[in-house]
Amino acid sequence: MLTFGAVCQIAQILLLREFLTVFHGSELSIGLVLGAWLVWIGIGSRLGAVWSDRHRRPLTWLALGAALQIPVLPGTIALVRMSRLFFDAAPGAHLSLPDMALASLLLPAPACLLFGAQFVWLSRIWRENDGAADTSGAGKTYASEAAGNMLGGILFTFVLVHGLNPIESAVLAGVAMLVVFLLALRIPCRYRRALWGVPVLAVAAFPFLGAADDGAYRVQWRQFLPRHRLVETRPSRHGVIAVSQQGDQVSFFQSGHLVFTAAGPDTPEPGLEDQEAAAMAHVAMAQHARPRRILLIGGGLRGTLGEMIKYPVERIDYVELDRALTDTARPYLPRSTLETLADPRVRLIHADGRLYTKTTRETYDLIVVDVPDPATAALNRFYTREFFGEAKARLHPDGALVIGAVSTPDLRGMAIAHRNATLYHTVRSVFPRVRVGGRQFMIFACSRDSGALSVDPAELSKRYRERGIESEGFSERQFDILLREPQLSRVNWIVRRHGRSADAYRQSPAAPPLAPGSLADIERAESTWPPVASRRFVNTDFRPIATYYTLMFWDDLAGGDRVNLFRGPLRVEPTWILPPLGLALAIALVLRLRARRNGRDGAVRRFAVLFAVFTTGLSTMALQIALIFAFQSVYGFVYEMIGMIVAVFMGGLALGAWAVQRKVADKTNVRMLASVQGAIALLAVLIAAALPRVAMTPAPTLVLAVFFGLTFMAGLINGVDFPLATACCLALNRPAEQSTAVVYGMELFGACLGAILAGVVVAPVLGIVACCLLAAAVNGMACVILAISRGGAH
What residues pair up with 297 in beta bridges, in sequence order?
319, 369
In this structure, are residues 680 and 717 in contact, taking their beta carbons and an 8 Å threshold? yes
Of 585, 779, 772, the residue nearest 673 (C-alpha): 779
* Sheet strands side by side (includes 395-406): 346-350, 315-320, 293-297, 364-369, 395-406, 441-447, 433-438
Out of 352, 370, 555, 721, pick the active-site residue.
370
Q: Which residues, including other chains, have CB under 8 Å from residue 281's CB and lie 6 or more apart?
A: 303, 304, 305, 307, 308, 368, 474
Q: Which residues, including other chains, have CB under 8 Å from residue 674's CB and lie 6 or more apart?
A: 612, 782, 783, 786, 787, 790
| Cα–Cα distance measured from residue 595 to residue 197, given in angstroms and rounded to the nearest whole number | 58
Phi first, then psi: what are they for 319, rounded to 5°?
Answer: -105, 120
Residue 449 is among the residues annotated as catalytic for this protein: no
| Cα–Cα distance measured from residue 347 to residue 23, given in angstroms and rounded to the nearest whole number | 34
| Cα–Cα distance measured from residue 152 to residue 129, given in angstroms and rounded to the nearest whole number | 25
- Determine the straight-line distance between the first and last CA of the chain, rounded to whole angstroms: 38
Q: How many residues does the chain have?
A: 794
Under DSSP, the state recorded for 94 is P
In this structure, are residues 422 and 538 in contact, taking their beta carbons and an 8 Å threshold? yes
Q: How far is CA 134 from the centre of its chain?
A: 40
In this structure, are residues 296 and 308 in contact, taking their beta carbons and an 8 Å threshold? yes
Using alpha carbons only, how large is the chain's radius of gyration in Å?
28
In this structure, are residues 623 and 687 in contact, taking their beta carbons and an 8 Å threshold? yes
| Cα–Cα distance measured from residue 419 to residue 407, given in angstroms and rounded to the nearest whole number | 9
Residues with active-site annotation? 370
